[in-house]
């Protein structure tokens, strides 16, 4: 990894002042301008370089993050808690079986309690409506750690990873292959905001929501981005610089696994599909991966894979969010 932040595109083009992000909720990539997203990425790169150089950054001492988990978590839990520890702050893990948000206590009342005690809230939830409701009633920033509609933290880490490997985000062809899910939605919004060339390969009935595409294409019309949806995965991947995939069966969709596993095998990211991409293309997966289904071992463990770089960058991208929304 380079030691010069200015080699990254997000640092070379206009970015917003850090103050523009102070106190902001982070619910969807679409809520931010291109300049604001570049500010987040620039801070993420800087924090990663500081950490690797052994430079301490205990900039959130005395600050507390409440972490709400309705869904199981490895990356989100570990990276947010580790990030607060590295910042000198504290994270509280609020598991759903203990808090019972929405049954034992309403979502607005949870928000009104937490904002009296903590400085920022992160929520990993089933319904996007829950994180929106938390943000509407909490006086402190709320970060969407994942919902059924959006996964902004993942996409920020992905953008950071692409910049690290390829030096830029624009003038690239990014291909996403698989289910039109929350990760796809956030990637589509990023393409619209930042002006990316994104090609989605998904089967009929599993393509991105029309409303998401409409909003993102409206953004893309102003940013010079392009968002194209294909039914043939080979068309999406053809000469791509980045090939991205995700699970065919997300949490909460287990009852659909039988029908989904009949539809998606042609969308597997394997050596034959990767042969359609550029020779230097990178392969991405937000994890957890179902090896042998959406991606093969050969590709995931191969030299083009940046899967575990993405996982590491969840830490740095989320630290950037925490620092910026708390004005540190």
Say how far apart CA 12 and CA 75 lie, in whole Å: 30
SS3 249: coil
Query: Is 314 part of the annotated catalytic residue set?
Result: yes
Among the listed residues 286, 310, 316, 318, the single catalytic one is 286
Query: Is 286 part of the annotated catalytic residue set?
Result: yes
Question: Rg of the chain over CA atoms, in angstroms?
Answer: 19
User: What does DSSP say about strands 282-285 and 142-146: parallel, antiparallel, or unpaired?
Assistant: unpaired
Candidates 317, 146, 124; CA nearest to 246 is: 146
Among the listed residues 124, 128, 260, 316, the single catalytic one is 124
Say how far apart CA 241 and CA 299 lie, in whole Å: 15
Query: Is 318 part of the annotated catalytic residue set?
Result: no
Say how far apart CA 261 and CA 195 lie, in whole Å: 33
DSSP secondary structure code for residue 29 in this structure: G
Query: Is 90 part of the annotated catalytic residue set?
Result: no
Q: At what angle do helices 34-52 and 152-166 cross, to 10 degrees?
A: 70
SS3 230: strand
Among the listed residues 86, 154, 160, 268, the single catalytic one is 154
Among the listed residues 151, 199, 285, 316, the single catalytic one is 151
Strands across the sheet with 90-95, in order?
90-95, 64-69, 120-124, 142-146
Among the listed residues 128, 246, 285, 316, the single catalytic one is 246
Active site residues: 124, 151, 154, 246, 286, 314
């Amino acid at each position: 990894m380079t030691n010069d932040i200015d080699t990254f595109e997000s640092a070379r083009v206009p970015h917003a002042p850090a103050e523009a992000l102070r106190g902001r909720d982070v619910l969807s990539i679409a809520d931010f301008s291109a300049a604001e997203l570049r500010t987040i990425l620039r801070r993420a790169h800087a924090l990663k370089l500081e950490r690797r150089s052994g430079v301490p950054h205990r900039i959130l001492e005395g600050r507390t993050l409440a972490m709400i988990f309705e869904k199981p978590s490895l990356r989100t839990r570990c990276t947010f808690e580790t990030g607060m520890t590295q910042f000198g702050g504290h994270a509280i893990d609020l598991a759903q079986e203990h808090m019972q948000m929405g049954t034992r206590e309403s979502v607005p009342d949870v928000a009104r309690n937490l904002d009296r005690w903590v400085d920022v809230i992160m929520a990993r939830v089933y319904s996007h409506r829950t994180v929106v409701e938390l943000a509407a009633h909490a006086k402190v920033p709320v970060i969407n750690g994942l919902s059924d509609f959006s996964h902004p933290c993942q996409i920020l880490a992905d953008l950071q990873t692409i910049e690290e490997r390829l030096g830029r985000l624009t003038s690239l062809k990014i291909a996403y292959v698989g289910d039109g899910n929350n990760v796809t939605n956030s990637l589509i919004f990023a393409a619209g905001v930042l002006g990316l060339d994104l090609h989605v390969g998904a089967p009929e009935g599993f393509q991105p929501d029309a409303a998401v595409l409409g909003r993102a294409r409206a953004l893309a019309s102003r940013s010079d981005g392009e968002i194209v949806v294909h039914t043939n995965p080979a068309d999406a991947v053809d000469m791509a610089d980045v090939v991205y995939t995700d699970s065919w069966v997300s949490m909460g969709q287990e009852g659909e696994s039988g029908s989904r596993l009949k539809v998606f095998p042609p969308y597997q990211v394997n050596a034959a599909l990767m042969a359609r991409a550029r020779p230097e293309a990178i392969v991405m997966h937000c994890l957890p991966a179902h090896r042998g289904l959406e991606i093969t071992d050969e590709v995931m463990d191969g030299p083009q894979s940046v899967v575990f770089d993405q996982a590491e960058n969840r830490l740095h991208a989320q630290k950037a969010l925490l620092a910026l929304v708390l004005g540190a």
